[in-house]
């Protein structure tokens, strides 16, 4: 399906009507509800964590970072990223998305799309967890295959990053104007 997270290049037209009322050029400052600004900050945090992990694996691949240093720097960031993102998706899927469906029924299919994105991203989080664990165990046990494990983790990061970036952008295009429009339902 062309709406799939891996296939699409932006939020489909049918779900962009909220964004039309509050385009991204106006997302700075008081025009956007406080809760929506908080949402954007959370997403910025995820983008920073991915960029940091990309930079580390990039330096390791270029021979500028030794395997133990990659391990020491990458694993805590990865753990934090997995925890944050899992918690964020849970609260979206189980708390905010149902509220959004209620206050803005017209966007229902758009929320379905975001929920499907979460399922796809959870597959990525699983492989990040599994390859991260294998890398950690390999380094801790001085396994000769630790470098291969690092390469598999780096590949998992390569795959997860673009999918997450697409989801974050498209989700923002729905939730930032939606929260601002229905601000009374999204206090605190």
Per CB under 5 A, residues contacting Fe ion are: 92, 171
Identify which of residues 46 and 129 has a Cβ nearer to Fe ion in the complex: 46
For the CB of residue 155, give the shortest distance to Fe ion in the complex, in Å. 23
**CA–CA distance, 128 with 133 (Å, rounded to integer):** 8
| Tokens coding 60 | 């390791």
**In the bound complex, what is the minimum distance in angstroms from residue 73's beta carbon to Fe ion?**
25
CB-count exposure of residue 170 (10 Å: 0-12, 13-18, 19+): buried
Q: State the nearest-atom distance from the C-beta of 118 to Fe ion, in Å.
A: 6
Of 41 and 64, the one with the shorter C-beta distance to Fe ion is 41
Nearer to Fe ion (CB atom), residue 49 or residue 92: 92
Q: CB of 111 within 8 A of CB of 136?
A: no
Q: Minimum distance from CB of 181 to Fe ion (Å)?
A: 18
Which letter, b or e, does each residue of 30-65 get, where b requires 16 or more Cβ atoms within 10 Å of its Cβ? eebbebbbebbeebeebeebbebbeebbeebeeeeb
Q: Which is nearer to Fe ion, 56 or 179 (CB)?
A: 179
């Amino acid at each position: 399906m062309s709406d799939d997270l891996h296939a699409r290049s932006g939020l489909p037209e049918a779900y962009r009507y909220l964004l039309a009322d509050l385009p991204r050029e106006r997302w700075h400052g008081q025009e956007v509800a406080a809760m929506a600004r908080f949402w954007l900050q959370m997403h910025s945090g995820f983008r920073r964590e991915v960029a940091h992990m990309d930079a580390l694996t990039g330096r390791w691949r270029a021979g500028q970072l030794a395997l133990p240093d990659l391990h020491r720097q990458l694993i805590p960031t990865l753990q934090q990223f997995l925890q944050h993102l899992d918690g964020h998706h849970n609260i979206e899927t189980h708390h905010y998305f149902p509220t959004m469906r209620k206050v803005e029924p017209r966007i229902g299919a758009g929320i379905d799309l975001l929920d499907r994105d979460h399922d796809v991203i959870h597959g990525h989080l699983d492989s990040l967890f599994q390859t991260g664990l294998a890398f950690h165990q390999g380094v801790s046990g001085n396994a000769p295959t630790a470098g291969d494990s690092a390469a598999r983790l780096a590949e998992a990061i390569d795959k997860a990053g673009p999918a997450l970036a697409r989801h974050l952008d498209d989700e923002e295009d729905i939730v930032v104007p939606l929260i601002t429009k229905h601000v009374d339902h999204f206090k605190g």
